[in-house]
Amino acid sequence: MKRLGPDDDPDRLYTVTGGRSRAADDLNLDLVTLIVSECDPAPGMQSEHARILSMCRHPMAVVEVSAELRMPVSVVRILLSDLLDSGKVTARHPRPVTAAHLPDTDLLKEVLDALHRL
């Protein structure tokens, strides 16, 4: 009989998040929000928090953190909210795209036509 590993245990995610199923409502962490560590991991810190701090020494997107930890994004958002609340990480939200920053539609059509002619 195969022994369950830490990734196979259904109770693991419940334990990792302390029983929470959602991050704080005021946090808006989308998949491309960049996370940056503001400190090094401390002794006695939850292992997932320590891994996030180590990984995010350089900016890393929420979705990349999720993939690296092999955990659902919803769980990673909860862990990140803990670190944000304590000031151990900062979040760099993407800038909203405005119509002024979008390329001209006519130019895009010309590029598409030129690509079709290749």
Residue 7, pLDDT score = 54
Is the distance from CB of 62 to CB of 31 less than 8 angstroms? yes
Of 29, 3, 17, 1, the residue nearest 71 (C-alpha): 17
**What predicted TM-score, i.e. pTM, was given to this entire model?**
0.70
Is the distance from CB of 68 to CB of 110 less than 8 angstroms? no
Residue 25, pLDDT score = 59
Q: What is the spatial order of strands in the sheet that 60-61 belongs to?
A: 60-61, 34-37, 89-92
Mean pLDDT of successive 10-residue stretches along the chain, which has 118 residues = 49 70 69 94 91 95 94 90 92 78 86 92
